[in-house]
Structure 1
Amino acid sequence: MCRWAAYRGDPLYLEELVSSPAHSLIEQSHCATRAKTPTNGDGFGIAWYGDRPEPGRYRDTLPAWSDCNLKSLARQIRSPLFLAHVRAATGGGTRRDNCHPFTFGNWSFMHNGQISGFERLRRPMEAMLDDELFNARGGTTDSELMFLLALRFGLQQTPMAAMAEMIRFVESLAEKLLGSVLLRYTAAFSDGKALYAIRYATDRKAPTLYASPLGKGYCLVSEPLNDDVDAWAEIPDGSAITLGENGLDIAPFRPVQAAAKTVPVAITA
């Protein structure tokens, strides 16, 4: 399983999540504490938003702990919205095109989880893409393909409804072709304005997700960045999270629903 961290709020240096905290994302790349394996050394990536609509991005196949460029960039880049990811591959080779975050236009996406039996589902999933989205596929992961499918189902217009429809489609396909469904999905995605996240699994064992205020904003992380347990609220399994102008909202996430109504949740330091 992978580890990731994301932030939205007043501009913040990336190092506040990526390298500075005691249990930063780089620390989690070789010493994760709330994952099946402690090492996430199959590459890393960051995507950040600035003055242009589309995100900047830096990815590599090196382990995050061994790339001095990552620490340097994280110290210098200041952004109001960014995503960062360290990879433990469950499918797809260790290559740059398979490293998260993935981007398309102004959208960015990263994921922690898996689809059981993906190799048998891959071709019919790809067949749902139009030519533009199919040609945008650079890697071989289930994560990138689910992102492109969500775009196919209307991510740019109705983000949560598109994700729900994408997961409903994948579950239906797995049931038809495999006779069973096992999908674990904890993802973050953004259009450069709002930050969205979903924590969901068919077996109720979704990869972990936590939220906390940070500066004048909020961060979402796979694991708390420090030992202050009172500062971190665990996001329940089966949740859709939106971080926008009005702060953090959380709502139930069910793939059978077209969309979920958000309900404000207060998270205090």
Structure 2
Amino acid sequence: MCRWLAYSGTPIRLEDLLYRPRYSLIDQSQHSREGVETTNGDGVGVGWYPVDAAGEPALFRAVGPAWSDVNLRELAHATSSPLFLAHIRASTGTPVQQSNCHPFRFQNWLWVHNGSIREFARLKRDLVLAVDPELYPSMAGSTDSEVMFHLAITYGLRDRPVAAVERMAGLIESVAHRHGVPDPLQMTVGTTDGDRIWTFRYSSEGRSRSLYFSTDMTALRALHPELDTLRRLSEETRLIVSEPLGEMEGAWQPVPESSYGIIQQGDDELGRFAPAGP
């Protein structure tokens, strides 16, 4: 499987989350505590929206392990962003190549995924045929994650993200049922249009991979008034992670099973996620 994080808030250097925390994403690439695999060394990527810039996000993806990528370290030290997604990959069977590394990008959208489609090779043809033909040329890799992304776009991700991902999940379960594949879908997903972040935690078997969100800044400052760094972050700052970046009491809350969340200006949202039939 994989590990990922999504950040929105006061612009910070990428290294502040990728490298500096005790259990940073780079540390998790070798020492994951809650993943299926301890090591996630089959690629790394980060997509970010530059400060004071509009349009497509920038993207860095590499096939080597995150812990030894000197280019990533240089980029993370020099780059600040108010919104970014980062991912470390553990392949579930598809090749280790750059086009299979996350995040995936389409126009102003980014997408990261941890999980898998069970027996994807058997289901892939039916799933790919459901992708909008106009989107097909933009699929460069061979992963189930990229197919899921393009199915979500096909079903209206750009207009109704939650409904689109519910239809995507429903299609996968329907196709799997026809092929006799039980409990086909395992996913935690992070996706963003550069303004809001949507996150999803769901599995067909009801035992989804780990996912957490940070406590709101007001509550976190009240819990830890001794931490000056928290004062520099805006009230809107939020973080979604596959597993906590540290052990600060009260900082992390688990995303409920079968749910979605929306990180946005003003009140965030948390709701029930249920696949929709095709």
- Tell me which interval the TM-score lies in, with the shorter structure as reference length: over 0.9
With over 3 angstroms needed to count, the CA separation of the structure-2 counterparts of 1:209 and 1:157, relative to structure 1, is same
Larger radius of gyration: 2
Alignment length, in residue pairs? 258
The offset of 1:76, in angstroms, is 1.5
Aligned equivalent of 2:253: 233
The corresponding residue for 2:87 is 85
Deviating 4+ runs (over 6 angstroms): none
Match of 1:267 in 2: none
8 Å Cα contact 1:43-1:60 kept in structure 2? yes
The answer to which of 127-136 and 233-242 deviates more is: 127-136
Q: Is the 8 A contact 1:117 1:178 kept in 2?
A: no
Partner of 2:48: 48
- Superposed, 1:195-210 pairs within 5 Å as 195-210=197-212
Return the offset for 1:229.
3.8
Tell me whether 1:174 sits opposite 2:163 in the alignment: no
**Coordinate RMSD, CA, aligned:** 1.4
Gapped regions of structure 1 (runs ≥ 5): 259-269
Q: Could you tell me which residue of structure 1 aligns to residue 128 of structure 2?
A: 126
The partner residue of 1:244 within 256, 260, 264 is: 264
Q: Supply the distance in 2 between the matched residues of 1:138 and 1:179 (Cα, whole angstroms).
A: 26
TM-score between the two structures when normalised by the length of structure 2: 0.90
State the 1:247 CA deviation: 4.2
| Letter matched to residue 228 of structure 1 | M
Alignment-mate amino acid for residue 16 of structure 2: E
Residue 131 of structure 1: SS of its match in structure 2? coil
Query: What is the Cα deviation at residue 52 of structure 1?
Result: 2.5
Instruction: Give secondary structure in 1 for the equivalent of 2:135.
Output: helix
**Are the aligned partners of 1:48 and 1:83 in contact in 2 as well (CA < 8 Å)?**
yes
Worse-superposed segment, 243-252 or 165-174? 243-252
Q: Residue 179 and residue 43 in structure 1: after superposition, are their counterparts in 2 closer, same or farther (change >3 A)?
A: closer
Q: Offset of 1:179 from its aligned partner? A: 4.7
Partner of residue 262, structure 1: none
Per-residue displacement from partner, 1:236-257 (whole Å, max 9, x unpaired)?
1111010001143211111138
Letter in 1 for 2:79: I
- For the 8 Å contact 1:218–1:248, the answer to whether it is kept is no
Deviation at 1:202, TM superposition (A): 1.0
**Structure 2 counterparts to residues 1-269 of structure 1, below 5 A:** 1-50=1-50, 51-212=53-214, 213=216, 215-216=233-234, 217-256=237-276
Deviation at 1:6, TM superposition (A): 0.6
Q: Is the 2:119–2:181 contact (alpha carbons within 8 Å) kept by the matching residues of 1?
A: no
